Structure 1
Amino acid sequence: MTLHVSTRPSLQQRMALINGWTTAVVIQAPRQVVWEQVTDFEAYPEWNPFVLEAHAQFAVGKSIQFLEDLSQFGQHWITAQFLEIESPRCFVWQGHFAAPILFTVRHTFKFEAIDDRHSRFSQIHENSGLLIPFLAWRGIYCVSRQGYLDFDQALKARCEKFCY
């Protein structure tokens, strides 16, 4: 499903993302290079069109705070906690808004080595909570998913620039 911010997604498109989504991109760079770019949170303003700023204590149980640009819905700070870190394979954070029963998001970043020069980077975004149907109906998840697709493409360009 390809969405453009200027196009109003159908109700079916908006509700299809109610539980979450997955994005993936193949990058012509070793997995370690991709890992280093994604986990260099302070460098996000240099290249990331969706997560404009990020500050993290990169350790299980510690927090990450980041500023997402949700286009017509504005910019929003999110605070989450790292649940799992397996360098250089994956890391997972989870955060919530107000109370976990209202809105919880869990985000997994996966780094797979295809061969010595190629990697697959995937993001798995999972939503839960009472506000989720309302947020999906409003179209926020369509914008957010597109932001993560843009993140993937910007990461690909950055990693490939460093390697080739």
Structure 2
Amino acid sequence: MKHIQTEILIAAKPEKVWTVLTDFEKYATWNPFIKSIAGEKAVGKRLKTFIQPPDGSGMTFKPVVLNYDTNKEFRWKGKLGTSGIFDGEHYFRLVYMGENTTKFIHGEKFSGLLVPLMGGVLSKTEKGFQLMNEALKRECEKV
């Protein structure tokens, strides 16, 4: 198993961050990592997601929503091919820190047979998370 977790402080309330994070239609205008998401935002529903890590190939996958707790957490689980080969449980958490500040926690837990062989891909993925976090911060802090 491999776990990647990144964090950033955003000068906005969780409601604002959530609104930007869950407005999938606008991802192409600001998100450098997750280029698109389509589908119903509800537990048990399948999304169609296209990601492109920096200096990496793009990939479309169809994760299942595990949690959609408004203004708090959005979590899904995707897989490459069959379960157990290369699975990822991706999450976004929002923690209100007071003073109009939200901690955005963005991570993924990877499991499966191919994880030990995916070091380069996972490094690019972590960089993609950081780029997305910074872009989300800019988008939420626009006046």
Same fold (TM over 0.5): yes
Q: Deviation string for 1:21-59 (max 9, x for gaps)?
A: 111100001110001111111110010011111112100
What residue is the counterpart of 2:103 in the other structure?
120
The TM-score, its normalising length taken from structure 1, stands at 0.83
CA distance in 2, matches of 1:26, 1:56: 28
Matches within 5 A, 1:3-152: 19-136=2-119, 139-152=120-133
Q: Which runs of 4+ in 1 moved over 4 A?
A: none
- Structure 2: where are the runs of 5+ without partners? none
CA distance in 2, matches of 1:27, 1:83: 25
CA distance in 2, matches of 1:71, 1:155: 16
Q: Per residue, is there more helix in 1 or in 2?
A: 1
CA distance in 2, matches of 1:98, 1:81: 14
Deviation for aligned residue 1:116: 4.7
Q: Give the secondary-structure state (helix, strand or coil) at the position aligned to 2:29.
A: helix
Deviation for aligned residue 1:73: 3.0
- Report if aligned partners of 1:70, 1:76 keep a CA contact under 8 Å in 2: no
Structure number with greater Rg is 1
Cα 1:153–1:71 shift into 2, 3 Å: closer
Percent identical across equivalent pairs? 27
Count of aligned residue pairs for this structure pair: 143
